[in-house]
Amino acid sequence: MALIPSPANDSLDVSSPLAADAPLDAYAWGEEFDDLVALAARVADAPFAWIALSDGEARPRVVARFGLDASLDTALLALGASLNAEVPRLTVPDAADDACFVSEPVVAAYPGIRFLHAQALLGEHGRHVGTLAIADRSARAAAGRDVVQALTRVAGLGERLIERHRLQRRNRIATQIMQAGFSAMIVTDEHGQVTLANRAAELLFGIRGRRMRGMPVEVLFPSQLQSDALASHTWLHAEDGDALLGRAPQCRLHAFGPNGDVRALEATRCTWRLGQGHGKAIILRDITDDLAQQATLRQLALYDALTGLPNRTALVEALTARLEATETPVALALLGLDNFKTINDTLGHAAGDIVLQATASRLRMTLPANAQVGRFGGDEFGVLFTDIDTVDLPVHLERMLLAVNEPMDVTGSPIHLEASVGLAVREDLHSEDSLPNASELIARADLALYKAKARGGRQWCRYDLGMRREVIDRRLLEVELRRAFARGEFELHYQPQIDLANGFTFGAEALLRWRHPERGLLAPAAFLDVLAGSALANDVGRWIIRQACRDAASWPEVGGRRIAISINLFPGQVHETDLRHDVDEALRETGLPAEQLELEITETIALKPDDNASRALASLRDRGVKLSFDDFGTGFASLSMLQRFPIDRVKIDRSFVRDMLDNRGDAAIVRSIVLISRNMELHVTAEGVENHAQAELLRGIGCNAAQGFLYSPALAPQAFEKWLAAQTSNPMQAPWLLTEQHDG
């Protein structure tokens, strides 16, 4: 237990003279205690006297003795061990006749103590801090009133001496801490003049401490530097009532540094009192560099490093503040570049960065002064319109699209950008749905942008309630699809593929169907887009491969050759899964020869550069698996894809086949696809063939195969097997062949 109260969390009070790091010897305490024990022996007319110090927890120690040797200290401590604040005095007339002391070494042996009088020394708050004792070789009936009074006065001197040393030690520690330089500190008197400044303060202000003494404290903190001069002056001179009012006694001050630069300081104030004097101690922490770092971090946190525009966080903060501060219309437009990824993929990311910087510059120059533009991330930019008539918004959005669409030259390559814009407006304050927060308004603009891109891009679209309904329906459909897959409600139907040269069936395409428990059998148009974009697609795609291979393995030959199975792949199967492993496992489990399997990829798959995917497809083709390009001709990059992937077959999309007899443009496209494919030694299959005239035209221009309602719709497994059985028994009796013979 320390001599003075210590904080509850402190295990040791460094101000205590009995602290572990304070040596308790006579030299540490000076000669005062030697004189004190000599005085005690003299007033009691006793040959022996000693003083021991103890705080009740640390080991007691004799610090001064008279007439005794230090080798007896342990035995002397035992004689006064029973003293404490509750038992402050002990008198033993004859220790040799007292059962408690007769066996003590200093009683039974040298020096043969018989009489003992000990008095407790009390410190701060009445705590027992030590013992003053006198002893004699002769027994005494009593100490005597005069002796006890004299010893009490001597003990009082000892207590004051201990307190003085405690204060001296505390002051030395405080001085060392103050001069340590961790924080600048200045002390003022009741007149507000500096009386003391530590070394750190000298370095902070560039003024020696002796020059600061007597200086009015406000001189160190010039009023012209303060953000609020009156508040700063009041803080420096006001009485310290902050603690009573529950306020932190802190203030932001500014001062000139040693080089004449302005430094920002965090100041903490406390009041000191000693006798009639009082003043303040002000601790200063230089936070100039911290504030500069915070400003830099805020710049990084709120601004896009590439374009210099405010980033998403900054724009959201501005949007939130605007929504809370005003009831006027607020509009948010999200602009997304169409097919920006192809620029990164073809010209490199450096070129993509130049495009983003140019787009940011164009938007800044195009938008009105009351619009704030920022980069939301990736190829998306956000524009916040405030204090603007909503009827003018279409004009500004069209200007944005035109500005972005202007051609630009990037590293010598001409680029024509296109963009889409989604718009959300907080306008009608009487409609609860029109009072969104920032997150909701952003979500609405994002939905509108998605809709604009889905409509083909190069346009803007304003949010309406129907878009939210679509999103909800899509999410519900995703949940229902997951449940359907778990319950085994998916099934495969097969549409025959016909060789136009001989009319024989050579293959079939596996088409997914959903046998809904309430809505019946659903075609892919009702769910396939949602399924393809969900996390479930890869699992369903893996199941399709296994099931289609299992069914195809049991099909009979037609015209002397096995029926091949053609399977459409989801994009995730190619880019996110181990497609080679999935196909190998399906072929191994079902026994289907690799040459009997064909995998169909679309432009959505081919446009996403992925070396691993390309290697996986090439490896499967090396095994004998065929690859075909589905919906060929519908995308802008179809022809280039034929050189990037190891394709065996091209499938002409049904949209061209449907109108090729009446539309010269469609007919020209079909002829071109067939010509290019044959020149590249690729087989060609036309989809959506519905009549003999279409089949005849396709055969005439060199198309290899066809599928469509002319031959058969997609059939359930059992129906397809019956259909195949009819072809197997007599392939030449196929209905389309009989019709052609009859027509001829």
pLDDT in tens, 40-87: 999 999 999 999 997 655 678 899 999 999 999 999 999 988 888 889
Q: What six digits make up the tokens of 179?
A: 């001069």
In this predicted structure, the answer to whether residue 9 has a pLDDT above a threshold of 70 is no
What gap in Å lies between CA 307 and CA 369, rounded to an integer? 19
Asked if residue 717 has a cis previous peptide bond (ω within 30° of 0), the answer is no
| 723 three-class SS | helix
Considering only residues 95 and 735, tell me which one the structure prediction assigns the higher pLDDT: 95
Superfamily of domain covering 305-463: Reverse transcriptase/Diguanylate cyclase domain (3.30.70.270)
**Which among 513, 599, 489 has a CA at the least distance from the CA of 552?**
599
pLDDT band at 178 (very low <50, low <70, confident <90, very high): low
743 pLDDT above the threshold of 60: no
pTM: 0.54
Report d(CA 657, CA 450) in Å as an integer: 30
* 3-state SS assignment for residue 56: coil
Going edge to edge, which strands form the sheet with 277-286?
A: 194-197, 184-188, 277-286, 262-274, 250-256
- pLDDT score, position 55: 60
Domains 26-177 and 182-291 share a fold: yes
Is it true that domain 491-743 has CATH number 3.20.20.450? yes
Could you read off the pLDDT of 682-712 as tens digits, one per residue?
A: 999 999 999 999 999 999 999 999 999 999 9
Domain coordinates of the chain in residue numbers?
26-177, 182-291, 305-463, 491-743
Given a cut of 50, is residue 425 above it in pLDDT? yes
pLDDT at res. 633? 59
290-345 pLDDT, tens digit each:
888 887 777 778 899 899 999 999 999 999 998 888 778 899 999 999 888 878 87
The one-letter amino acid code at 642 reads L
Q: Given its phi and psi angles, is residue 470 left (phi above 0), alpha (psi -120 to 50 degrees) or beta?
A: alpha
**pLDDT value at position 470?**
83
| Residue 14 in this model has a pLDDT that exceeds 70 | no
pLDDT higher than threshold 70 for residue 362? yes
Distance of CA 491 to the CA centre of its chain: 43
Between 19 and 538, where is the model more confident? 538
Q: What is the pLDDT of residues 271-305, one digit of tens each?
A: 888 777 888 889 899 999 888 888 777 777 889 98
CATH architecture of the domain 182-291 equals: 2-Layer Sandwich (3.30)
Q: Are 522 and 516 in contact (CB under 8 A)?
A: yes
pLDDT of residue 41: 93
Give the model confidence (pLDDT) of 211-257 as tens digits. Answer: 999 999 999 999 999 999 998 888 888 765 554 444 457 889 999 99
Dump pLDDT digits (tens) for 108-142: 999 999 999 999 999 888 888 899 999 999 999 88
Burial of 21 (0-12, 13-18, 19+ CB in 10 A): exposed
Q: Is the pLDDT of residue 11 over 60?
A: no
435 pLDDT band (50/70/90 cuts)?
low
Q: Average pLDDT in the 531-559 region?
A: 93
- Contacts for 45 with CB less than 8 Å, ≥ 6 apart: 147
Lowest-pLDDT range, 85-94, 409-418, 534-543?
409-418
What's the pLDDT at 507? 95
Structure tokens at 224: 């012209």
Question: What mean pLDDT value characterizes the chain?
Answer: 85
Q: Which region among 1-10, 399-408, 724-733 has the lowest average model confidence (pLDDT)?
A: 1-10
Whether 733 has a pLDDT exceeding 70, the answer reads no
Q: Which residues make Cβ contacts (< 8 Å) with residue 417, sequence separation at least 6?
A: 337, 338, 340, 355, 359, 404, 405, 406, 408
Q: Tell me, what amino acid is at 344? A: N
Q: State pLDDT tens for residues 577-587.
A: 889 999 999 99
Stretch (H or E) spanning 202: helix 199-205
Dump pLDDT digits (tens) for 603-644: 777 666 566 777 888 899 999 999 998 877 555 445 566 666
What average pLDDT score do residues 94-115 get? Answer: 93
26-177 folds as Beta-Lactamase (3.30.450)
